[in-house]
Chain A
Amino acid sequence: MSSAITKIGRQKDERWRFWRDVLAFNLKVLLGNLRDFALIPVSLGAALIDVVSKGEQDGSLFYRVLRWGAHSEEVLDAYSAVKAENVSVNPNYTVDAVIARMEGVMVREYEKGGTAASIKTALDRVIDQLQHGTGGHRARVQVAIAKASEKLGGRVKLKEAWSPRTERITGSEAIVIRAMTETDAAVVADLAGELGYPNEMGSIRRRIKEIGGADLLLVAGDSADKVMGFIQAHRVASSKQVFAWRY
């Protein structure tokens, strides 16, 4: 009897904590957005003043604004409700890491005397690598969207355009089609082995990288992104053949 009362009391506490967290989070996000909105003109203004009148160091006013922004971030602490949970961030995919990678590419190309076209190609390659690197997460998001769409009774229609996309088969099961990444090398090697084509994982990884976007390289995974199959297709460059022929 007393344990039942304790359980009901605990449920009420948890519900109260949940609603408190919802309200607190939204209030913090609202305040954060107002601050961010104000920070755009303030930081630009500070940078402009720094350019016109040199202070004790380059950009001293701008960095003071940044320090104030960082301090306010700590004061707001929008994600305090889940702070105890260790949410790991891949350091390769933070905004700073992406900017640093693109900056590095542009500097290297500039130093090599690269043209605008070669810089664009190099940047495209970096963006492709980033997209490959986040392929697994994207696939999981696609599954979540497909499931949510299903729960809404098909009222939400996903945009129909060609892209490796989620396709439902039956019920809650889903097959996710996504671009093959270098991290799929091991499972691709296993699948090729199943068919009697033993391949080294390292050489498959190298080939995936070399092929890049030249061919269509897709894998099919389940809702947990367990790869079940793959396909490779390429465009036949008939214009380079000296005579026309059929298979």
Chain B
Amino acid sequence: MEILGLIVSAAARREGVGRKLLAQVESWAKEVGAGAVVVRSNSKREESHVFYPAMGYQAIKTQAVYEKRLSEQAQTEAQARD
């Protein structure tokens, strides 16, 4: 099971919202027989790297993402993304 996105409004953080959402995913994962729940988080998301270990998640790997821009349009989009 992989978490593709978890966002909590800045105004509602530290109120247990993320914990409750995560609990639902874990509950579903158990029900469908998934062995683990995996989540990837950008290294710059400092709060996430406190949150997930507090929820019992263990950092197992650090990855680098490579990209080759194939067109000018893709370059523009990537620049906007950066």
Contacts and interface: CB of A to CB of B under 8 A. Distances in A.
Interface string A149-174: 00000000000001010010100000
B6 A231 contact: yes
Interface in B25-71: 25, 27-29, 31-32, 34, 37-38, 40, 60-61
B76 interface: no
Given A164-B24, A233-B28, A228 B17 contact: yes
Contact of A233 (B1, B8, B15, B40): B1
Contacts of B38: 236, 247
Contacts of B18: 229
User: Which of B4, B24, B25 has the largest number of chain A CB atoms within 10 A?
Assistant: B24
A39 B29 CA distance: 48
A139 interface: no
A231 B25 contact: yes
A216 interface: yes
Contacts of A228: 8-9, 11-12, 15, 17
B24 A216 contact: yes
Interface string A228-246: 1111111110000000001
Interface stretch (A59-67, A75-83, A190-198): A190-198
Contacts of A236: 1-2, 34, 38
A233 B37 contact: yes
Contact of B9 (A167, A175, A229): A229
24 contacts: A167-B20, A175-B17, A177-B21, A191-B7, A194-B10, A195-B7, A216-B24, A216-B28, A218-B21, A220-B8, A228-B12, A229-B8, A230-B6, A231-B3, A232-B3, A232-B4, A233-B1, A233-B2, A233-B3, A233-B29, A234-B2, A235-B1, A236-B2, A236-B34
